[in-house]
Amino acid sequence: MSYPARQVNSPSRVVVFAFLAAVLTGTALLSLPVAVAEGEETSWTSALFTATSAVCVTGLAAVDTAGHWTVFGETVILVLMQIGGFGIMSLASILALLVSGKLGLRARLSTQAETQSLGPGEIRRVLVGVAKVTLVVEAVTAAILTTRFVTAYGEPLGRAAYHGVFHAVSAFTNAGFALWPDSVTRFVRDVWVCLPLALTVVIGGLGFPVYIALRRHWRHPSRWSLHAKLTLGMTAILLFGGAVAITVSEWTNPATFGPLPPGLRILAGFFHSAMTRSGGLNSVDTSQMHENSWLISDVLMFIGAGSASTGGGIKVTTFALLGYVILAELRGEPDVTAGRRRIPEHLQRQALAIALVSVAAVVAGTLTMMMITPFPLDRVLFEVVSAFGTVGLSTGITADVGAGGHLVLTVLMFIGRLGPATLGTALALRVQTRRFRYPEERPLVG
């Protein structure tokens, strides 16, 4: 029995080591003098932090992205975002298909482990479809942004195109990097910048299986898979519910939404809600938000985006399944059902395990950061949840947490990008049928 276990676990290990190799390669490239602007210095912790943030599509920055890095350094970050967002094993599989037209068993299993819900037989067809969606969405967003930068802000076409492509990739991959020191706060009044970025983040956060369901049955929602229905439903609830909560909380805040006209306050609330799904860009100064807005953001960032997407968090389907488990228990029902479908017990256990492990990681990270930094709980918790959820929003303390804090956040970003997904895959692959059952005994609960 030990041999199959080793075979099953190898794809997850390949994915982890592939991401680690990408992080280390990015760190080496960002440490080169050609990557750093004149007069700036880059420590290895800053390079490691930035590379991890890019590969794990987080967006937290220890240094000013626009001022610290040269065009070469920014290009490295752009490539790392695209690789991390699309998926290292997915990208490698696409290259293998293009070069040889074949995909080996190890590559199929590794890609299946990374994309979570795809069967080995579907990998070839699905990867091509995912590549098309990625390129089309990024190209459309880049075109809109480029046009806006040229016509409304007078930027030269080359620079506008560079900014358009960079931020389109940053949005679709849910990376959250920006080429301005204030993120995109200068565009808080510009619908043609904020809305395309927000919608691109939402599309990137839906996940590959949802794209497949929509492509197959986009005219017949009744035929969508339960996963697609849960993802789209929870995304809508969290997106618009979060927008309402944030807008109400910040409506009169003179440092954020207060100076804006009512329509733009609603846009800013929608934008922030979309970015907490794992987008990471900010159109207002997050550090000036009310504490209750930070708490609302913490919840949204922890839940995150869709499974097998570019976003992070415990995923909306995990959150939804836990809700159905609670609902079934309150009703005293023997089975957990969603959309007239019964949820297998092992999926319920996976959802519970992922949620509890994620809570443990956030608590441990918060305690560690509280001990090594001088910042209060609300700011530290926000930073930790943002790192673990691979979001990239910050209350302004990222650059000041020191080397120790950067290392803690680096570990959290890496775990957040791979931990819950890898844990879920490992649990799913280890489902076994036992030939016997132990005697039942019921400890007291609650």
pLDDT tens figures, 8-34: 445 666 777 788 889 999 999 999 999
The answer to whether residue 253 scores a pLDDT higher than 90 is yes
Closest to 27 measured CA to CA, from 1, 54, 3, 6: 54
Angle between helices 123-153 and 191-204 (to 10 degrees): 170
pLDDT at 124: 65
pLDDT at 4: 45
Please give the Cα distance from 324 to 322 (Å, whole number).
5
- Residues forming a β-bridge with 342: 337
| pLDDT digits 0-9 by tens, 158-212 | 999 999 999 999 999 888 899 998 899 999 999 999 999 999 999 988 877 787 7
pLDDT at 299: 96
pLDDT at 341: 85
pLDDT at 12: 64
pLDDT at 209: 75
Higher-pLDDT residue of 116 and 420 is 420
Please check whether residue 245 is in contact with residue 296, taking contact to mean a CB–CB distance below 8 angstroms. Answer: yes
Query: Mean pLDDT score of the chain, rounded to an integer?
Result: 84
The pTM of this model reads 0.87
Q: How many CB atoms lie within 10 A of CB 415?
A: 20
Q: Tell me if residue 312 falls in helix, strand or coil.
A: coil
pLDDT at 70: 93
Closest to 13 measured CA to CA, from 90, 152, 109: 109
Please check whether residue 394 is in contact with residue 382, taking contact to mean a CB–CB distance below 8 angstroms. Answer: yes
In angstroms, what is the C-alpha Rg of the chain? 22
The answer to whether residue 257 scores a pLDDT higher than 90 is yes
pLDDT at 98: 44
Higher-pLDDT residue of 57 and 250 is 250
Q: How many CB atoms lie within 10 A of CB 301?
A: 27
Average pLDDT in the 390-399 region?
A: 92
Place of tokens 């929003």: 393
- SS3 of 100-131: the string is HCCCCHHHHHHHHHHHCCCCHHHHHHHHHHHH
Q: Write out the two tokens for 271.
A: 């934008």
Closest to 169 measured CA to CA, from 210, 139, 198: 139
| pLDDT digits 0-9 by tens, 71-126 | 999 999 999 998 888 765 465 444 444 444 454 545 555 555 445 445 545 566 66
Q: Among 118-132, 254-268, 355-369, whose mean pLDDT is lowest?
A: 118-132
- Secondary element (H or E) of residue 191: helix 191-204
Q: How many CB atoms lie within 10 A of CB 408?
A: 23
